[in-house]
Amino acid sequence: MPSETTDRLRASGGPSEHLLLLLNDHRVMTTDQLARATATPARTVLYRLEQLRTAALVDYDRPGRQRGSAPHHWWLRPAGARLVTGTSPADGRRPSALFSAHAATITEVWLALREHGPSAGLTLTGWATDRAGWQEWEGSASQWGGTSVKRLTPDAVYEAVLDDGQEVAAFIEVDLASMTQTQLRGKLDRYRAYARDEAWRGRFPYCPPLLLLTTTAHRAVTFTRNAARHLGEKSLPSYGRRLVDDFDLIAAHGRLVVAAAGLVRDPARAVTEHAWTLTDPEAAEVTLTAICTERATTAAAARPAYRRQEAESDRLQRDETLRRLRVNPRPLLPLFGPAAVDLVSYLLDTHHDPADAFTPHLDADPTLDALAEWWRRTPRSSGDTPALRATLTRLHQQAWSHQVRQLAHLAATGEDRPAWYAAAAHLAGRRLLTPAEHHQLGDAPTRDAAQAQVWRYWQPPGHRDEATAPTYPQWRDQQVTAEWTHLSWWQRQRTDRAMLAAAFDVEHLTACARCALTIPAIDTGDCPGCHHTMRLPHDQRHTVTPLTDLIAALLADTTNSR
């Protein structure tokens, strides 16, 4: 093999190297196609090709005819492929007439898109044929699970930009009437699998449409009608009706659109004219630009739907994370401390009433979002834990101070209600009142009402008839009178009946250690007023701290904590 041409190409490249690169990209090209692709006169291109052929870098054939005006179909020899790629994908054998015709037709489609696309609003930005355009992905092997590597082998992958800057893409299939409708349906099945597995994500802005260029309009219509039945489509969802919700938008974005045109012998018309038949039998023929624009518009409309879908997914994950923390907040205790955990439990309580005066308005949603994100993160970073803990502790102080001030507002009315003692005791422990605890404080029973409830259900020993049972004062007077009667005259002179009554009260009555409500000693349950469990002797009830003093101490604590 002469080495002068090869050495010159390796050293300087130039127009001849450009011809080799084109043949490497398109496999087979005619002389006229190479001239149009390089904007060079055909005679000049033919002269350069003959030099390359002499150097054993390219070769040609005239499929179907060896003499006459049949065009030369050029392809790379192994040495030419090795020169431009460093490898030798070309085997050097003469391609079959069918392969040459098919490859040259694909090249003619590329030229038509490049030459006539801009006037139709489509500027070519990418074109991949043969293995460069093949799509491989992992899809489900069967309905019982498992995956397998699948492959889609379009004749070409077309990428362009619309006049408004939107990126579009399409799969091109060229049919020279060499495939039966059954073979075309098998090819369609692979495209359906590609769309079903959403293998286009991350590669294209939407599921690229399948565009079939075939020999006749009748053949194109037959293919689209069969495709419509095979796809289960009665109409084209994106044409002629309004997409009503996110599900429609997302489904339309990932749906496989199929169109065909019978202009494979004249692809320039397929680029510029209303020549494409859709799977909707009622749809008129449309332009290639309309198909690409519809796909780009659908993709643009679906983007907000995807964002809303992602936001909803994030919200559900957040809610599930917070639900688990609400059920079991104890794991947070060693990381955030009791105040922060108390706040989290309070914020995640499902019984909140925003209209309740005790409910603080903290705008804590961003903090809860940060908490949920921090909890889901694996591994969790220890660097942001102190900041989150400080925020939760600060919000807890705000909520606690709000509840203290609200309780002080209730007590300022001068009323004395046992339930308020319980609230003060909880707040004194730096614990927030839960919604269930503070919801009824405004309507809590007064001391007189709570005491009346105690006596309403009390029955003295030996009296089971509620209708005739004496009240406690009546029963006490009866017992004191009986004891007084049994005293001697000398003892009665030295005994005060009030002292006997007081001693009787000490024996039969107790007082709640928190709210000082009087409770019979035989009643061993919790205090009905404040639900406290501890009791005091009745004569020590005056030692219970008054509500005003409890609230004054809490208010002082809120002032000191600022």
Q: Which helix (H) or strand (E) element contains residue 466?
A: none
In the numeric block, which tokens belong to residue 8?
């010159």
- As a whole number, mean pLDDT of residues 100-107 equals 94
Q: What is the DSSP string of 393-441?
A: HHHHHHHHHHHHHHHHHHHTT----HHHHHHHHHHHTT-PPPHHHHHTG
Which pLDDT belongs to residue 84? Answer: 82
Bridging pattern class, strands 258-261 and 210-213: parallel
Q: Which of 5-14, 114-123, 214-223, 505-514 has the lowest mean pLDDT?
A: 5-14
Give buried/exposed letters for 321-335 (b at 16+ CB in 10 A, else e).
bbeebeeebeebeee
Least confident of 19-33, 58-72, 130-144: 58-72
Please write the tens of the pLDDT for every residue from 446-490. Answer: 999 999 988 888 888 776 665 677 888 888 898 888 888 888 888
Phi, psi of 417 (to 5 degrees): -120, 130
Round to whole Å and give the CA distance between 170 and 211: 7
Structure tokens at 493: 């002179």
- Provide the H-helix boundaries in 74-138: 78-85, 97-116
- Residue 538 DSSP class: G
Asked if 277 contacts 261 with a C-beta cutoff of 8 angstroms, the reply is: yes
Distance CA 443, CA 447 (A): 12
State mean pLDDT over 99-112: 95
Give the separation between CA 201 and CA 263, rounded to whole angstroms.
Answer: 31
Of 90-94, 365-369, 376-380, the range with the lowest mean pLDDT is 90-94
For the chain, the 3-state helix, strand and coil shares in percent, each to the nearest 5, are 55, 10, 35
3-state SS class at 204:
coil
pLDDT tens profile 30-70: 999 999 999 999 999 999 999 999 998 999 988 765 555 67
Calculate mean pLDDT across residues 203-227. 94
The CA-based diameter of the chain, rounded to the nearest angstrom, is 157
Please, what is the end-to-end C-alpha distance for the chain in angstroms?
A: 93
Which stretch of 20-29, 122-131, 488-497 has the lowest confidence by average pLDDT?
488-497
243 neighbors 249 (Cβ within 8 angstroms): yes
Q: Return the bridge partners of 136, or none.
A: 151
The Cα–Cα gap between 325 and 467 comes to 52
Instruction: Delineate the domains of the chain, giving CATH numbers in brackets.
Output: 1-95 (1.10.10.10), 97-310 (no CATH), 455-550 (no CATH)
8-state DSSP, 490: H
State both tokens at 251: 């489904």
Q: Which whole-number Å values give the CA distances from 126 to 32, 132, 204, in the listed order?
A: 22, 11, 12
CA distance 475 to 167: 95
Stretch 372-381: mean pLDDT, rounded? Answer: 79
pLDDT at position 67 is 54
From 338, 435, 442, 439, select the one nearest 392 (Cα to Cα). Answer: 338
- Per-residue pLDDT for 3 more than 60? no
The per-type count for the chain, helices as H runs and strands as E runs, is: 22, 14
Q: Are strands 518-520 and 509-512 parallel, antiparallel or unpaired?
A: antiparallel
Q: What mean pLDDT do residues 370-386 have? A: 80
User: What does the pLDDT read at residue 427?
Assistant: 95
